[in-house]
Structures are given as structure tokens and as C-alpha cells.
Amino acid sequence: MPKMYDVIIVGGGITGASLLYAISRYSDIKSVLMLEKYGGLAPLNSNSRNNAQTLHFGDIETNYSLETAKRTNDAAKLLLRYTESLPVAVRSEVIRKCQKMVLAVGEFEMGLLEKTYSNISPLFPTLRKAERREIGRLEPYVVKGRDRDERIMALVSQHGYMVDFGKVTKTFADKALLNRKLKPEIKFNTRVTKAERHGDGFIVTAANGDEYHGRFVVFATGAYSLYFAKSMGYDNNLSVLSVSGNFYYSKKVLKGKVYRVQIGGIPFAAVHGDPEITNPNVTRFGPTVSLPLTLEKGHGGTVGDYLKTFDFDLPMLISMKNILLNRDIMRILSKNLLYDLPVIGKREFLKNEAGRIVPSLRNEDIWLAKGIGGIRPQIIDENKRSLVLGEAKLKEDGIIFNVTPSPGATSCLSGAVADLKTITEHLGKEFDAQKFERELGEAKHHLKRV
């Protein structure tokens, strides 16, 4: 008889690893298997090379609603508490405190930022408004060389964090593997090709033909989760728009994170500049925005799978029309198309993006960060006929699919506890909510669009 696992997790990024950890620490589940396509943990979007390394709280993210800001704030606190439990030497590798701000340039952005502030300031009592002089004190290069007539303001906080989410992923797995009773198993270089219902559970098949049996399956495959949901016949009127992009480096010019105001409710962050947790000598600017037809950045072999995540029906076509003809999205896409061109691309990026944050930067000061950046699988809600912000969790009987654009790394534990509750209820096992709350905080979970 093949071994029957209580839970099979597909995907070894931060979503899968945080669930592995939550299972090992806060439940009496007896067996768990993780299957990862590549040779190690966090090879894709959770890797520090590929995301913006920001612990998002919702205070400098001008594209969040108050509700999203509250939920993200709760989720970020869980991860922060978790990192506080790590040994000092490990903690200093995975997370660092830094100042952060959201910068408005010009009257229009300043008006938007004032509105945001009055909306969210009760939730973030340490968030302050700063004018030119204070901005110059906190981030001298944001003011140096800026036209005196150009008005700026910012919302600033000293409670920012840069996070190496790839290393956090590894700490989750390392801690889970210490559980000798559970003995979690992780199989690398195992590309799952399908999952099928079988009796009370599922058979998960790998590309080499190996089969794994599980009573509950969680797809934590990032941009690929919706592909698997659709291939199993679950169509929740969702699709994904793969949003990719590049980063540029300069020598260190910023002390902390400087985000820009995102205009028009676009569900992904505008270009920002910030320190790089793995290299204190540089500042990173990005990400730019492009729409590749792939589910993994630079991996042409995933085009066919990406197309399978689209429904190509009327609601989908109307959604795409609404998205691509949205004035703000068109403005972003047309600017960003230029950034991909040789020679003038860098110049345009400097003029429109990096130079709006650090005006004294010159063309020779920045260089493309090669091989850096991932895919943000932005969710298209075909019922709303539009792009929506944040993650989606598709739940069916005995199976969950997690689709995780930003701030998916920040919300990993919040998502994991939501999954764990569903799994333990399904399997008739215990979720130790008291222990979770004692160690990490209230077990609130964002059960999102399903």
C-alpha cells in the first residue's frame, strides 16, 4: 500500500514553508510531505533577489484600502513576532529595521497623500507627515539636486523592516524538520504535473511518474496555483495577469525605503527605492512593469501553462478590455514599454522613476540588476471585471490553492493559519490556537475572495 500522507504541500516557497512550520508547531497532524520543483527552497518569488524585501504594514502603501491596510498590518505583526523568536544571529540575517517613507512629488500626489493620511493615521499612530526640510534630514539624496520649486511631502515611519523572505522560508523548514514526531518530508526536484481525487483523498503525480497519496493537498505554487485549480476543473471566475519587471542598482543613496504614491488604485506598488538586505553598498530601484506571457520570469517553457489559466470567455474578455484600457494602467504600461528598450530604456527609467526619488542620479550611476525580479500573479476577478489587490485562496473539499501576489510574503503566516484551520477541521485534527496566540498573536486570518 502506498503511504497516505495527512497533508501534501506542493511548492517550497514562503507560503508552503510557513504552512509546513504551522503544521509542525500548532497541530497534531501526523504526516506531511512537501514537493518542490527545483533543487532548494524559495527558488522563485520568495527569493530575496526576486521581490522587494518589504514587510508591508499598509502605512506607506497608498494603493491599499483601509480594510486591506488593517489586514496587512495584522499579518505583518505575526511575521514580525515569528522573527523575534529566532536566535539573534539568524534574525539579523533575515530581518533589519529601517526607516521608510512614501514620497509625494507635486501638488496632485500631495493631495492624494493628505487624503490617505487622514484615512489611515488612526491605524498607524507613529506615522508622521514630513515636509521638505525633514525629508532632507532623513533622506538627504531625496532633496539634494531637486528643483526648489518642486513641492514634496512624505509620510514617514521609523518602523520599517527589510526582510530576506528566502531565508525566512528556510527557517520555517528548518524548524519544522526538528519535529521528530512529525518527521516532515521534503522532496526537491519533483515537479508536480497533476492532482486527482482518489477515494477520500488525492493522488499527486510528479513529472517522473511517481505518485503520492494525501488526504489533504495544498497548492502553494505561486503563479502556478491557479493553473492547477483550473486543470482540476475549479473555475472561480479568477484569472491571473502575470506582472513582471526589472530592478536597477545604484551606489548606496538611500538609508531606508522610499515608496512613491501609486495613482489610480493600481493593485501593485509603484517604483520605489530601497536598501538591499544582502548588499549594504547598493540601493535598488524598481520594479518596472511588463506583462510577459509566462508563469515564471524568463522561463519561456511556461507560456502554454499561462494561457491555460485564462478562460477566454466573455467575462474574461471584458475584464481584459477594462484592465488594458484603464487610463492609469495604460499610462504605466506605455512608460514601462520604453524601459525595456536598449539604451533609451535606462535613460527613461532614470527620468521618470529613479530620478523622481533621487534627482541627483546620473545615467552612469545606475545599472540593470541582471536576473533579478519575479512574477506578481495579479488576480483578475471576472465577476468584478477588474484587477484586484492581494492574494486569493481557492478552497475546495480537501484542497486549497494559494495565489500569491504581493504582499504574499508578508502575509505568509496569516495565510498558513487560515489553511491550518481548514485542514484540521477537514481531517478531524486539532489546531492549537492558544499556543499560536501565545507565541505569535491573535489567530486572525484573512479568508479572502474564494
Ligand X SMILES: Cc1cc2nc3c(=O)[nH]c(=O)nc-3n(C[C@H](O)[C@H](O)[C@H](O)COP(=O)(O)OP(=O)(O)OC[C@H]3O[C@@H](n4cnc5c(N)ncnc54)[C@H](O)[C@@H]3O)c2cc1C
**Residue 172, interface with ligand X (CB under 6 A)?**
no
Is residue 181 within 8 Å of residue 62, measured between CB atoms?
Answer: no
Q: Which of 37, 213, 260, 446 binds ligand X (CB under 6 A)?
A: 37
Return d(Cα 114, Cα 311) in angstroms, integer: 40
Question: Helices H, strands E: what count in the chain?
Answer: 15, 19
In the complex with ligand X, the residue whose CB is nearer, 21 or 165, is: 165
**Residue 375, interface with ligand X (CB under 6 A)?**
yes
**Residue 221, interface with ligand X (CB under 6 A)?**
yes
Is residue 360 within 8 Å of residue 141, measured between CB atoms?
Answer: yes
Q: Which of 410, 414, 422, 424 binds ligand X (CB under 6 A)?
A: 410
**Residue 424, interface with ligand X (CB under 6 A)?**
no
Return d(Cα 39, Cα 337) in angstroms, integer: 34
**Residue 224, interface with ligand X (CB under 6 A)?**
yes
In the complex with ligand X, the residue whose CB is nearer, 415 or 441, is: 415
Span from 97-105, 139-147, 324-332, 399-407 in contact with ligand X (CB under 6 A): 399-407
Name the minimum Å distance from CB 287 to ligand X.
Answer: 4
Is residue 16 within 8 Å of residue 225, measured between CB atoms?
Answer: no
- What contacts 405, CB < 8 A, 6 or more positions away? 243, 267, 268, 376, 377, 378, 379, 390, 391
Return d(Cα 93, Cα 196) in angstroms, integer: 40
**Residue 374, interface with ligand X (CB under 6 A)?**
yes
**Residue 267, interface with ligand X (CB under 6 A)?**
no
Q: Which of 46, 73, 294, 424 binds ligand X (CB under 6 A)?
A: 46
Within 236-255, the residues that bind ligand X by CB under 6 A are 245
Return d(Cα 440, Cα 77) in angstroms, integer: 8
**Residue 52, interface with ligand X (CB under 6 A)?**
yes
Rounded to 10 degrees, the C-alpha dihedral 114/74/236/5 comes to 160
Span from 4-12, 24-32, 119-127, 357-365 in contact with ligand X (CB under 6 A): 4-12
**Residue 45, interface with ligand X (CB under 6 A)?**
yes
**Residue 11, interface with ligand X (CB under 6 A)?**
yes
In the complex with ligand X, the residue whose CB is nearer, 100 or 146, is: 100
Nearest to 33 by CA among 4, 56, 60: 4
